Amino acid sequence: MQLTQASCRYRRIWLLLGWGMVAAIVVLSLIPVEVDLSGGRDKLAHFAAYGGLSFWFGMIFGGRGLQLGIAVAFAAMGVALEFLQGLTDYRSFEIADMVANAVGAGLGWCLVQTPLGSALTLAERWIAAAAGKRNRTSQ
């Protein structure tokens, strides 16, 4: 079951966390960073970041078409950020980063089509169960 507006009790929290991830990726993509991501770790970071975004927002918004649109939008965001990096003198423009972003976003879309796509629904059930248990013990 995919999270939808009607079934998602903590939707605002999930969206806030998701938009926080988007903001973090944008900021970290455009500021000078002195982290050694050599040996392919740079591409792995791009892959994981965009896969995570696509997967996260895909869990919040149901429907394969919308989820695919989300993945495409995040891949496009990665392309735009690479062009912006090319305009700076402290970051570099790399097509391989764009590919890693797009492949990650695509994998995120694929994963949200599996039972893993119900992770937020399960989290909400756990939260509700914990809240119910806490309320019963406090009475």
How many alpha carbons fall within 13 Å on the CB side of residue 128? 10
Count of domains for the chain = 1
Report, as an integer, the average pLDDT of 65-69: 96
In-domain check, residue 33: no
Over residues 14-25, the pLDDT tens digits come to: 999 999 999 999
Residue 63: CB atoms within 10 Å: 12
Q: What is the pTM of this model?
A: 0.86
DSSP structure class, residue 118? G
In-domain check, residue 32: no
Please say whether the beta carbons of 61 and 118 come within 8 A. no
In-domain check, residue 120: yes
DSSP structure class, residue 89? S
Rounded to 5 degrees, what angle do the CA atoms 98, 104, 107 make? 140
Q: Which domain holds residue 50?
A: 11-26+40-131
On average, the pLDDT of the chain sits at: 89
Q: Residue 28: pLDDT band by 50, 70, 90 thresholds?
A: very high
In-domain check, residue 47: yes
Burial class (CB in 10 A: 0-12, 13-18, 19+), 41: exposed
